Structure 1
Amino acid sequence: MDLESVLIQVANGGQQPMTRLIIGFAALVGIIGVIAYLISLRNKARHSTKGVEAGKIFAGIIFSVCLISLEAQMNTGGATLGFGDVSFGPVSYASESTFGMGASAVNAVLGIVRVLGAYFFYKGVKGLKDSFLEGHTELSASGQRGASLVKIICGLFLIFDTQTLDSLQSTLNLHW
């Protein structure tokens, strides 16, 4: 088997299951995160003498809920960028008339890029959730929030890779 055949087989057989695994794992992490934040709020309310910083805990809960509804957050991000809804089905961006025999390999690579985009998006939202955990200094938390936002934006551009390529093509006046 050559590399092109391997890419096509991986993209056709593994793109949707890998994406569903990422979304399912994010939901699990989100549910555990909500429970952990609620327990943290209860413990702080019991043992704290200076009061509870409920804002950080509620922000963490909100980002945990964003993990639970990760696919809806991807759709919202895509709608914000003007791309529409996310689709993790087979990619049919490259036509054989334009790319020749390599069209199926190009489509396979774009499908794998979508899976990587979903992973980056997940890591970005999880990083935002984790930045509100105890033990972070304000400097490290703000650095983690900035890096997480970059991951979310890059993940969105990778998830909507065909729309991103079309936008780049029309913006830069490229022709392929």
Structure 2
Amino acid sequence: MDLESVLIQVANGGQEPLARLIIGVAAVVGIIGVIGYLMSLRKQARHSTKGVEVGRIFAGIIFCVCLITLKAQMNSGGATLGFGDVSFGPVSYASESTFGMGAAAVNAVLGIVRILGAYFFYRGIKGLKDSYLEGHTELSASGTRGASIVKIVCGLLLMFDTQTLDALQSTLNIHW
């Protein structure tokens, strides 16, 4: 089995289950995060003498809810960029008339890139959630937030790889 056939097999059989795994893990992490933030709020309300940081906890809970609804957030991000809803099905971007025998491998790589984009998007939202945890200094939290936003944007562009390639192709006037 050569590399091309391995890529095709992984892309054909693994895209949808990997996407479901990422979305499922995000939902579990989001639920655990909401519970953690609510417990932190309760602890601060009981033991704090300086007051409760409700804004920080509320922002953390919002990002936990974003993790729980990760697929909807992906679709919202795609709609914001004008790409529509995300799909983790088979990719049919490269045609055999253009790419010849390698068209199936190109489509397989684009499918794997979509899964990688979903993982980046998940890590970006999770990074935003984690930046509001107790113990972060404002400097480290702002650095984490900046890196997380970059991951979210890159994840969106990778999830909508075919639309991104079409947009780049028309913007830069490249033809292949």
Distance in 1 (CA, whole Å) between partners of 2:62 and 2:115 is: 24
Q: How does 1:123-138 map to 2 (within 5 A)?
A: 123-138=123-138
TM-score (norm 2): 0.99
Q: Does 1:74 align with 2:74?
A: yes
RMSD, aligned CA = 0.4
Distance in 2 (CA, whole Å) between partners of 1:60 and 1:123 is: 15
Distance in 2 (CA, whole Å) between partners of 1:159 and 1:83 is: 10
Q: Which amino acid aligns with 1:62?
A: I
Find the counterpart in structure 1 of residue 164 from structure 2.
164
Find the counterpart in structure 2 of residue 9 from structure 1.
9
Distance in 2 (CA, whole Å) between partners of 1:160 and 1:55 is: 33
- 1:76 deviation in Å? 0.3
**4+ long deviations beyond 4 Å:** none
Distance in 1 (CA, whole Å) between partners of 2:157 and 2:20 is: 19
Q: Does 1:101 align with 2:101?
A: yes
Q: How does 1:1-176 map to 2 (within 5 A)?
A: 1-176=1-176
Distance in 1 (CA, whole Å) between partners of 2:165 and 2:20 is: 24
Distance in 2 (CA, whole Å) between partners of 1:115 and 1:109 is: 10
- 1:119 deviation in Å? 0.2
SS of alignment partner, residue 84 of structure 2: coil
Distance in 2 (CA, whole Å) between partners of 1:50 and 1:121 is: 36
Distance in 2 (CA, whole Å) between partners of 1:20 and 1:106 is: 23
CA deviation map 1:19-61 (0-9, x unaligned): 1100000000000000000000001000001110100000000
TM-score (norm 1): 0.99
Distance in 1 (CA, whole Å) between partners of 2:5 and 2:145 is: 39
Q: Which amino acid aligns with 1:138?
A: E
CA deviation map 1:81-136 (0-9, x unaligned): 00000000000000111111100000000000000000000000000000000000
SS of alignment partner, residue 13 of structure 1: helix
- 1:146 deviation in Å? 0.1
- For these two proteins, the number of residue pairs brought into alignment is 176
Percent identical among aligned pairs is 85
Distance in 2 (CA, whole Å) between partners of 1:154 and 1:7 is: 22
Structure 2: runs of 5 or more not aligned? none
Distance in 2 (CA, whole Å) between partners of 1:18 and 1:75 is: 17
